[in-house]
Amino acid sequence: MKFFLDTANIDEIRQGVEMGMVDGITTNPSLVAKEGREFRAILEDICELVDGPVSAEVVSTQFSGMIQEAHSLAEIHENIVVKIPMIFEGLKAIHQLSKEGIKVNVTLIFSASQALMAAKAGATYVSPFVGRLDDVSHPGMDVIQQIVTIFDNYDFNTQVLVASIRHPLHVVEAAMMGADVGTMPFKVLEQLIKHPLTDVGLARFLKDWEKLAV
């Protein structure tokens, strides 16, 4: 399973890369706005640090605007994946961009039917938002299981990119279901490393070692 970091923060990305845990990056307009820097400059910095796909989202909601933005974003670096929202105009744009060989990550997916349509349109990734589904009392991971099954049934090449991950169990369950990618905030990456028994065990080993040194 590939790990993507869901952030536009360069310090977090650098730390993740140093851990060897970052296979790619996803950004969205909200994450970029938090950084208070120019979008293209952020993307250039990320592409310099990360050897993997970097998702950058369009903000137009019309076909022509999406295509224009997608072309401009794709020019920044070969690793840029254009994020397109799952709306009617978006589907047309996914179809067009995939014919042109531009990689697309279809965002704001909340159902298996949306994922199926995005895959049929030629998406490279679909991004179902598990955390936001959980927030409205719909089990997000159930949708992941449905999408994985459907893509397996028909041998779609589209990758399931589990998004809106809120905690380590989302990652573990996604891995058990065979999802291709999980994109997570830096905090979740840190949480995945930790176990209280590891800390207690290490403290005990070091204390015992001190006795030997005396």
Active site residues: 83
Q: How many Cβ atoms from other residues are within 10 Å of residue 28's Cβ?
A: 20
Closer CB to ligand E4P, residue 26 or residue 102?
26
What gap in Å lies between CA 25 and CA 175, rounded to an integer? 18
What gap in Å lies between CA 125 and CA 181, rounded to an integer? 9
Q: Any contact of residue 107 with ligand E4P (CB under 6 A)?
A: yes
Count of residues in contact with ligand E4P, rule CB under 6 A: 11
Closer CB to ligand E4P, residue 97 or residue 202?
97
Q: Any contact of residue 164 with ligand E4P (CB under 6 A)?
A: yes
Q: Which range binds ligand E4P by CB under 6 A, 43-51, 110-118, 123-131, 148-156? A: 123-131
CB of 213 to ligand E4P, least distance (A): 47
**Distances in whole angstroms, Cα of residue 38 to Cα of each of 8, 42, 77, 107:** 11, 6, 16, 22
Q: Among residues 73, 74, 163, 171, which is the contact residue for ligand E4P, using CB under 6 A?
A: 163
CA–CA–CA angle 134, 139, 140 (5° rounding): 75
Site string (10-29) toward ligand E4P, x via CB under 6 A: ----------------x-x-
What gap in Å lies between CA 81 and CA 103, rounded to an integer? 5
Closer CB to ligand E4P, residue 127 or residue 158?
127
Q: Shortest CA distance to 129 belongs to which of 54, 90, 61, 182?
A: 182
Which residues of the chain form contacts with ligand E4P (CB under 6 A)? 6, 26, 28, 107, 127, 129, 131-132, 163-164, 183
